[in-house]
Structure 1
Amino acid sequence: MRGVGQVRERGRQLDADLAVRGDADQSLGSPSKASLLRNVNILFIPMFNADGAMGDVNFALDGYLGKGERHLTRYNANEVDLNRDHVAKEQPETRALHENVLRAYDVDYAIHLHHQGTQSRVNGDLVSGSILYPTTPDVSPEPVEKSKRLGSVVYHNVNRTGWGHIGRYDGGSANTIGRNGMAAEYGIATLLFEMRGMSDHE
């Protein structure tokens, strides 16, 4: 149990670190965070919707802008939006995520990286990306607050480097949406991070 206690303590340190607002402490990649990151597990799922991304689907892609090896449609092979399947969990990809990751690991934070097909502006300029925390009323206050802290870290790190122009995404509150459903069902602090510049349908 000593190892579990150490992991929990590191988790509390990470929570405290995410609560800091000063620029000097916003970067988890700084040398001062090296010992913290050695005790934190980071799990990457590089491509949740592999069939849709590669265009290996059971429907026509004639109206899609993506060319070459990747069509990057939001739908899976069955033409289902996987980001609206987190309650019913009818699709094999969604079931695999919940059974093999969300129920198998004690996840504290999750960032959902998406392509942003919509166009929005902040201060008159088109954003290069948008972020949003859980907005369903079924999430308790603690995961929402942690999600907002995570969003603050992402926003300040991207904004201060000049790599992007980030805004707030105008998203829905349904539990079928990944950031809402995962937060409501598992108490995970989640953050949607959408980025423009990839291909999608017209």
Structure 2
Amino acid sequence: MMNEPIATLEPLSRYFTYTAFEEHFMAAVKALPPDQYAFSFLGSSVDNQSIYGLRLGHGAFKILAWSQMHGNESTSTRAIIDLLHSKDLFQALKNISLYIIPVLNPDGLSSWSRFNSNGIDLNRDAVNLSQPESVILKEVIDFYEPDLALNLHGQRTFYGIAGSVLPAQLSFLTPAADVSKGVNASRLKSMALINNIVKTVKPQMQTAIARYDDSFNVNCWGDYCQSVGIPTLLFEAGHAGDDYARDEVKTLIISSLKSVFTNCSKDEEIEEEVTLNQYLEIPEIARNYCDILIRNAPSVKGNRDLAIMYHEQIEDSQLHFIPMLFAVNDSTIIYGHRMIDLKTDLHYSNDLEVHENMTVTSASLKIGAFIK
């Protein structure tokens, strides 16, 4: 019988302190069946914050998943916390052992930065192992010897897919194993699992699932794992519409993870041509979006199209979204999560301002900073 959490906690918002993460994580762990998990302290970050590991289940097929390697990509961490509370978790993990590192980069989480406290991108440190967080991940890989690796990330709001109005709310990749980018058994297994995710999750969405470019870089952890024969899936939690809290996509990440758990240990023959063709049918990702696209903004040089992106900044332990001018008349930016045409917008009262620091405001268009 499951233990009850010590207290009911408010769900984690998109930004949370590491102390808040630890509180939620420990409460989730304490609520698990004692015979179904093993908890580990793996080591410390540059700033001496603890990094944890959690093993779930006793199945023969071993999955390793790590999240928040980039500190400002929190959606998959929040998905993991919710997953630990799922009533059907261990049914999904039947025949599986799942090892989770829920936050690999606690210092980057605290500062809302892609990098660790030494300014290093941990996802470019798989071979150099110059950082303590990278060493921890490598030690877990070597000790656990996973049959499958899940590299969990989040992506920025400027991603859509080529030739479509739809934003890329989810993206996946089976990384290349070498510079030839060939399809070996490891990649084929990964492709089959991604194809199953698409079949499972796409009917829940009105947006797009995209496929990342597979250029090879052995210093990236997914590429490294694939190069040593570990089938690897890269997850990217993306954005659509007004989901700046990333709550909608968090639900999609949970569904995607459960799809992997359901299908990964099946001993089925994979048809190479069919699997490869299905994978390649997933549209390629494209940088063709912005947060707000304003058409026909008047200027002394005539009307201009303004692409605005939100700058994310932590103040007083809250995540502020600050609209800033990103590009002018950029033909590659075709869509915005919000589209405004000043020729036809009846609410506009000629109050759009681009300030010296490139922030953009308009009371009539409701463009300004906000908090999530």
TM-score range, shorter chain: 0.5 to 0.7
Identify if the C-alpha distance between structure 1 residues 75 and 43 changes in structure 2 by more than 3 Å, giving closer, same or farther.
same
Identify if the C-alpha distance between structure 1 residues 163 and 54 changes in structure 2 by more than 3 Å, giving closer, same or farther.
farther
Partner of 1:40: 96
Contact 2:175–2:222 (8 Å) recurs in 1: yes
155-164 vs 73-82, which moves further: 155-164
Give the counterpart letter for 2:161 in structure 1. R
Contact 1:132–1:191 (8 Å) recurs in 2: yes
More strand by share: 2
Q: 2:174 aligns with which of 127, 133, 139?
A: 133
2:172 is the alignment partner of 1:172? no
Partner of 2:146: 107
2:231 is the alignment partner of 1:189? yes
Per-residue CA deviation, residues 133-181 of structure 1 (Å, 9 max, x unaligned), is 0124268711111111121122222212227531111243111111101
Alignment map for 1:60-139 (pairs within 5 Å): 71=112, 73-99=113-139, 101-117=140-156, 118-121=158-161, 123-137=164-178
Identify if the C-alpha distance between structure 1 residues 140 and 120 changes in structure 2 by more than 3 Å, giving closer, same or farther.
closer
Give the counterpart letter for 2:237 in structure 1. M
Per-residue CA deviation, residues 85-107 of structure 1 (Å, 9 max, x unaligned), is 111111110101111x1011120
Gaps of 5+ in 1: 1-5, 12-28, 56-70
Partner of 1:67: none
Alignment map for 1:13-28 (pairs within 5 Å): none
Identify if the C-alpha distance between structure 1 residues 140 and 98 changes in structure 2 by more than 3 Å, giving closer, same or farther.
farther
Aligned-partner Cα distance in 2 for 1:194–1:160: 18
Give the counterpart letter for 1:111 in structure 2. L
**Shift in Å at residue 79 of structure 1?**
0.7
Contact 1:115–1:196 (8 Å) recurs in 2: yes
Identify if the C-alpha distance between structure 1 residues 128 and 7 changes in structure 2 by more than 3 Å, giving closer, same or farther.
closer
What is the number of equivalent residue pairs in this alignment?
Answer: 158
For the aligned residue pairs, the C-alpha RMSD in angstroms reads 3.0
More helix by share: 1
Runs of 4+ aligned structure 1 residues displaced above 4 Å come to 197-202
**TM-score, normalisation: structure 2:** 0.38
Aligned-partner Cα distance in 1 for 2:207–2:218: 29
Identify if the C-alpha distance between structure 1 residues 140 and 129 changes in structure 2 by more than 3 Å, giving closer, same or farther.
closer
2:187 is the alignment partner of 1:144? yes
Aligned-partner Cα distance in 2 for 1:52–1:7: 33
Per-residue CA deviation, residues 41-81 of structure 1 (Å, 9 max, x unaligned), is 011211111110111xxxxxxxxxxxxxxx2x211111100
Partner of 1:53: 109
Aligned-partner Cα distance in 2 for 1:39–1:196: 30
Larger relative contact order, structure 1 or 2 (CA cutoff 8 Å, min sep 6): 1
Aligned-partner Cα distance in 1 for 2:150–2:216: 17
Aligned-partner Cα distance in 1 for 2:214–2:189: 18
Identify if the C-alpha distance between structure 1 residues 113 and 200 changes in structure 2 by more than 3 Å, giving closer, same or farther.
farther
Give the counterpart letter for 2:97 in structure 1. N
